[in-house]
Structure formats: C-alpha cells, structure tokens
Structure 1
Amino acid sequence: MKTVGLIVEYNPLHNGHAFHYQESKKSSGADYTIAVMSGQFLQRGEPAMADKWARAEMALRMGVDLVIELPVAFSTQPAEWFAYGAVSALEATGVVDSLCFGSESGDIGWLQDIAAVMHDEPAAFHALLQEELKLGLPYPAAYGRAIARQMPGIDPAELAKPNNTLGLHYLIALKRLGSRIEPLTVTRQKSDYNQIAITDQAIASATALRHILFERGSLGELAPYVPEGTMQVLKRETAAGRAPIQWECYAKPLLLQLLHHSAAQLAELHEVTEGLEHRIKRVLPSLSQGSAGADAVPIVQQLISLLKTKRYTRTKLQRMLLRILLNQSKEQLSPAVLAQGVPYLRVLGFSSAGRTLLKRMKQTAKVPILTNVNAGLEPSPLLLMDIQATSVYALGFQQATEREWFRDYYEPPVQITLP
C-alpha cells in the first residue's frame, strides 16, 4: 500500500492541479494521496481566496484522500522554511512513500545535484551569497546567482523559476530530515506560475483565475479551468460572503497594527528587517494621496508600492505586512523553533480511504494527530498561531460571526465519500 505526498495551496484548485494529482499517482504507483495544504495565509504573504476548509473540500472532491494543514508559522515563509515545514509534515505521518512536486523543468536530476551540495550550505557558498546580497539583489536572485557561482553550469535563470525553486528546497529538506521519502517531479503544463494571460482552453494559472475574480468579479468565467467540485465550493463560499478574499479585505486591521506599534515594536516582528520599520513609519502619511474617488488605489497596494525597492520584492513586503497583521514576533518564528518541524498534524479533511490512512497513522505518526483542537492536549504555540490566523482571516468576510472568528474550535474535518 503506497502513499504519495503533495504540497499544495489550491488557491483555487484548477485543472492544472488535477493533472498534477493524476500524474503524481501514476508516476508513484500510489494507492493513497496525502496533501499538506497551507491554511488561511499563503507562501507569497497573501490571504487564501477561500478558507482552509473550503480548499480542503476542493482537494477531497478531486480525489485526495487526506488533507493536513501546514501551520501558518511555515505556510507564509520563504521557500526554505515553507518547504522544510511541509516536508516535515509528510515525514511525520510515517506513511508517505514518495513526494511528487510540479516543476518547470520536469527534470529532477540537476535539482538533486544541487541539493546534495547545498543541504548543509558550505561556508564558501555563504560567502558568495553575502557578496550577491551586498549588490542589493533580492534574496531569491542572490541565492540563485550564488549557487551558479558555487556550481558552474547551473543556470540561475532556470533555478529562479518558482516551482524549480520550491522543488530544490523540498529536496534539501528531505536531506536535512534524513527522510526516506522518494522525490518525484511532474512538468508544469501550459501556464507559468505567475502568468495572467490565458493561452489554453482548459488550463490557466491560479494567478490568472484570481485576476479574473478580483478584477472582473466574474466567477462564471472560471468554469472551463477548474473541476466541477471547485466551482460548487466557490459558488457556495461566495454566496456566504466568505470568498473571494484578498489583501484589501484587511486594510483597516493592518493599518491599526501599523499605527499602534512604534518603530521599535515593529522591529520585533518577523520579517521586519534592515530598518524597514522606519521606512514604514515614513511612508504611512503618504497613504492619503489619491486614495479617494473612482481612481482610488487600494490601501494595501499603495503601501506596498511606497515600500517597494529593488532590494525588497512585493512578496517579501507582503510577508512582512502579514506578520505585522498577525503580530508574530521574530522570537516566535526563530530558526530554532522552525528547525523542529511541525509539532502536530492538523487534519482538515479526509475521504473514506483517508480514514484508513488515519488508522495507520495512529501507529506510525511521530507527532500528535489533531482532528479537534479541544482534544485535551496542551496547545502548541504554533497551533495557537493557527487559531489566531483563522480569527484574523474571518475579519475579511462580509459579515463574520463569532463562530467564524473561532471556527478552529468548532469545525470538524471535512468528510467526503466519493461515488
């Protein structure tokens, strides 16, 4: 009985994801699938367009057997820690035989060569990385260039492609954890990760689909590009005022945090680095310029534009603003904390086959399995952060209720029985 692991966001789940799911089962020969899925907030520092239970349901309707939440402590990190947390969750189940990820190259060999060298970051590489960073490059670009200098023949442009980058860090995480999970890759099909233009009749990127929703407000236009189960869930969540969610839904609570904290207090929060706390305080008074009328620029978009430089990518700034919104400190998310991996496996949903997996995991799992946060265990600090993230996420709904603010305490795992 083989099980393949997937690391996903499904924001939203589309036909490209369905292709990856099918190819993952085929290439691994797996009987079961486990998806480790980001919760309410995602790797690029954005809120999910629909909440974690809705996206878990999309996954189960597609055929995934068990959905486990990637804690917010990891789900909004740069590639290294995002990958480490997700792989540690798959490893902690004790039942996963393989990990299949999407990549632009479709070739795992060269990524494994890099991982073999980079999993312990040689001192010479660290020196090269610092040299690249001193040129004012964003960290991802500096990292790729430093690897190309460390390992001549590696194309930094190829490595910089988002899925290739994540794939490399999955491989590095497997080595750092001493995992026996076999890595596999599937070539990304017909649309790039950040491609807004749609060039195929059935496959479009999640970025393009979110663009349709947020810019045109047209849910129906998504139908050719997503499974029927995704459309049903999105229609229900939209009708309930719980989707689609975007950064601007949190403009007021974010501003409250920015105005309430002093520069010194902001500097204590995760991702607020290199004096960005002072830059934030300097640009805040400029937010009133051009913020009214039909041509208004949304507040969060304005703020990111004012903060952005060559050094700081939009993604870096979004992650920083998210940590400020959630009030998460450097101490809470220190490397020492993250290096321990996930301290629990939070179950978001399962099928009838997933129930079988859970029975096995009771014997094999290396950390507690949580189907109910009131299970009597002392809450992990990371679990408390997940609960808080759900409460903040609900502030973006049209009319959030007290139950939705504290939904982690009430909501059981989604259960789907497929025909």
Structure 2
Amino acid sequence: MKVAGIIVEYNPLHYGHLLHLQKTREHTQADAIVAVMSGGFTQRGEPAIFDKWARTEMALQAGCDLVIELPSAYTVQPAEWFAYGAVSLLEHTGIVHSLVFGSESGSLSQLQALADLLTNESPELRLLIQNSLKEGMSYPRALGQAVARLYSIPDQAASLLAQPNNTLGLQYIIALNRLHSSIVPATIQREQSQYHDLQPTHHQIASATAVRQLLLNNDQQASSYLPETTMSIIQREVAAGRGAVELNQLWQSLFQMITTHSPEQLAQYYDMSEGLEYRFKKKLPTLQNCSITDLITALKTKRYTYTRLQRLIAHLLLGHTTSVLNTANLKKGPGYIRVLGFTNTGRELLRQMKKTASLPVITRPTDTDHPHMELDIRASAIQASCFAAQQSSYLYSDYQRSPIRV
C-alpha cells in the first residue's frame, strides 16, 4: 500500500485543505494518507478553535485515513522543532513513503537545494539567526538574511525564505535529512490565499486565519469557505457549547498565574529569557483591559515579537518548563504515536504499524508514562476550559474519548 504523509492543524479544515488532500493523492498516487495533527494548541501559541476530536473527524471525513497527534512539546514551537517533531512521527510509523506539503513557491528543487545546504547548520549560521531574532526579526527573514550572507546562492532562492510555508517546507526537508529518512518530499503550490490573510480574497478558498475570524464573529459567510462535512461538525460543536475558542478566553488563568508567581518562578518556563519575567510582572498592572491581546501589545517591542510572546504565554499556560522542554530533550524526538482517529483503510495501516512502528502506538494516555503526555492532557484540558458548556468530561476528554472511527 502506497502511503502519503501530511502535517496539519485543520484549525479548521477548509476548502484549501481539501484541495491539498486531493492533490496529494493525485501527485503521489497514494492509497492512504496519514496526517500528523496538532492537539489542543496550535503552532502560533493559540488554543485550537475546536478540540482535536472534532478536527480529527473533519480530517477523516475529508479524506485522511489515519490521524495521529503531534505532542504539544513540538506543536507550540518555531518551524524547526515543529517540523522535526512531526516528521519524526511519520518516520517512526514505518509505513509512510512520501511527505506532501504546501508552499508559496511550489518549487521542490529550490527548497531541496537549500535544505541540503542547511542540514548541517554551522555555528556561524546559528549565531547570525539568533542575533537577528534578538533584534526582533521574524524567523523566516532572519534565516533568509543569514543564508544570503554566508552562502553564495541566488537572490531568488534567499527570498523564498521570506514566506512562512516555504520556511516550514524547508524545515520538513531538513528534518528528513537529519533523520536519514527514506520518505520522499513533495510540494504543492499554495493557491488563492496566503497564510496571514485576515480577509477572504477568493470566493471559496480563504486562509484559516480569515475563516477563524468569521467563525468567532458568528459570520454566516464562513460556510462559503468550509466543506459541508466540516460545517456540519462545527454546527454540532457550537450547539454543544464546545467552541469556538480563542486565546483571550484564557486571560483570567494567565493573569492569576503571573500575579501569583515570582519572577524567579516565571523564569523556569521555556523561552522565558533576557529578563522577560520582570517585564511580565511590570506590564500586567498597567493594563486598562483584561485581555491577553492587550498584554502582548504592551509587552511587544522590536526585540520581542508578537508571535514569540504568544508562544511564551502558551508555554506558561501549558506548564512547559525548561526542565522538560530543552534542546537536548527535543532532539530525542516524540516518545509515542498517539492515534486520534482512523478509517477502515486506517485500520489496515494500524495493523501494519504493529510490525513497522519504532515507537509505541497508543490510543489512551495510560498507555505511556512519557512526560510529554502530561503536557498533551493539560493542553486539552486548558482548551476545554474555554468551552461555554463546562463539563468535567470535556476537561478529561483525553481519558474518556476513544479514537474517532469513520
């Protein structure tokens, strides 16, 4: 059986994602698709708009055959670690033949050439990137400038790195190289909408950012950009009081934590550096409104970007301490393959994985004692605390829900 892998958030699944799935099958002639999906929180440091069970169902209805969870230790991360964690999971299944991702360029050869150049990252490159990040530059731009400065490559190749999906795709290929994986990368050009578009620019395809904004505003226009199966699941979840969720709903938990923790305690959390803990304590009492958005705006400087601060807030909420999340631990890769859902074809894949997987394949938290699982459970519970319907079963869904079967 020919199996393609994809890495997704489906926050929520829209027509652009559906197109990606269709082109993945066409391009690879795959018999099955395995999706690695984020859980309660997303890469940008926000709670997902709907829980992972609803988004798994969206994925299976749209054409995925097996959905596995990317641990939150790798989800709430810059492109390098997000990619490394997700690609590691696909590699450890032992059944995936290709990895298909979207990019702005649609040029695999250019990304592959850059990845081959950057796989063994030099200390000089790392230092240039870190210095640029400290000055407040975005990671894609910092990487592009560092590469252009150190290596003789065409300006066009360096400019590719200014786009978020190109940067993420590059990191997927680098991860494949570092893992010495036999999985073959392939890319599909992103169409109609761009990653950060706040407003729809096409009659059917919009960015997930734009779709989320419509859903949070209860705008009926959202249905124009969502497959019927996705919309049906969303309507069910909203009616049950399980969404839509957004970051500002967690302001009370965050503010209480910052208020009751000393700067020394805050400094123990992942990515809390350069005295940011004191800046948190100083800025919080000055806010006019109780809003995480307002706090980030108050904290934001040229050096501390919005995205970095949003991820840092997620690390605080999720209990991501430096003792658990650090470079040495992250390099080890995920410690388990958590199954969120499958189709009949996916069931066959799971049977194969009993022979091929090089990590434990689990369906319940009690199947592993890996420290990352505790963080995943916390991520689900914190996201569920935002639901309008406050039920203990939602907070403990990781223990009470079985994988979704379609």
How do 1:256-335 residues align onto structure 2 when only pairs under 5 Å count? Answer: 256-287=256-287, 289=288, 291=289, 299-335=291-327
- Supply the distance in 2 between the matched residues of 1:176 and 1:123 (Cα, whole angstroms): 16
1:148 Cα deviation from its structure 2 partner: 1.6
| 2:4–2:99 contact (8 Å) kept in structure 1 | yes
Residue 202 of structure 2 is aligned to residue 194 of structure 1 = no
Residue identity matched to 1:194: H
Distance 2:100 2:336 in 1: 22
Q: 1:400 aligns with which of 390, 393, 397?
A: 390
Q: Which residue identity does 1:303 align to in structure 2?
A: L
How do 1:208-227 residues align onto structure 2 when only pairs under 5 Å count? 208-214=210-216, 216-218=217-219, 220-227=220-227
Distance in 2 (alpha carbons) for counterparts of 1:369 and 1:266: 35
Cα distance in structure 2, aligned partners of 1:154 and 1:229: 43
Unaligned runs of 5+ residues in structure 1 are: 292-297
Aligned partners of 2:140 and 2:164 also within 8 Å: no
Partner of 1:64: 64
Q: Any idea what SS the aligned residue of 1:374 has?
A: helix
Distance 1:269 1:134, change over 3 A: closer
The whole-number CA distance in structure 1 between the counterparts of 2:291 and 2:169 is: 34
What is the CA-CA distance between 1:139 and the residue it aligns to?
3.9
* Amino acid aligned to 1:71: P
Which stretch of the first structure deviates more once superposed, 77-86 or 335-344? 335-344
**TM-score, scaled to structure 1:** 0.94
Which deviates more, 344-353 or 392-401? Answer: 392-401
Alignment of 1:123-142 (within 5 A): 123-133=123-133, 135-142=135-142
TM-aligned CA distance change 1:141 to 1:275, over 3 Å? farther
Percent of aligned positions that are identical:
47
C-alpha distance 234-373 of structure 1, shift in aligned 2 (>3 A): same
Q: Is the 8 A contact 1:138 1:312 kept in 2?
A: no
**2:87: which partner in 1?**
87
Q: Number of matched residues?
A: 404
SS at match of 1:349: strand
Identify which of 367, 374, 381 aligns with 2:366. 374
SS of residue matched to 2:302: coil
Tell me the distance in 1 between the aligned counterparts of 2:39 and 2:133: 31
1:240 shift after superposition: 1.0
Shift of 1:140: 3.7
Correspondence for 1:153: 154
What is the DSSP-based 3-state SS (H/G/I as helix, E as strand, rest coil) of the residue aligned with 1:346?
strand
Superposition TM-score, scaled by structure 2 size = 0.97
Q: 1:110 to 1:409 in 2, by over 3 A?
A: same
Tell me the distance in 1 between the aligned counterparts of 2:131 and 2:164: 23
Matching residue of 1:355: 347
SS in 1 for 2:321: coil
Residue 143 of structure 1, CA deviation: 2.0
Q: Does 1:23 align with 2:23?
A: yes
Structure 1's consecutive aligned runs of 4 or more residues displaced over 6 angstroms after TM superposition are none
Partner of 1:383: 373
> Structure 1 residues 157, 310: closer, same or farther in 2, change over 3 A?
farther
Distance 1:347 1:324 in 2: 26
Aligned equivalents of 2:235, 2:89: Cα separation in 1: 31
Aligned equivalents of 1:135, 1:222: Cα separation in 2: 38
Match of 2:243 in 1: 243
| Amino acid aligned to 2:359 | V
Alpha-carbon shift at residue 80 of structure 1 (Å): 0.3
2-structure distance, mates of 1:304, 1:181: 39
Aligned-pair distance for 1:316? 0.6
| AA aligned opposite 1:336 | A
**Aligned residue in 1 for 2:168:** 166
Instruction: Return the alpha-carbon distance in structure 1 between the equivalents of residues 184 and 388 of structure 2.
Output: 44
- SS of match in other structure, 1:101: strand
The aligned amino acid for 2:169 is G
Question: Offset at 1:313?
Answer: 1.8
Once the 2 structures are TM-superposed, how far is the Cα of residue 134 of structure 1 from its aligned partner?
5.9
Cα distance, 1:129 vs. partner? Answer: 2.9
The question of whether the paired residues in 1 share the 8 Å contact of 2:135 and 2:303 is answered with no
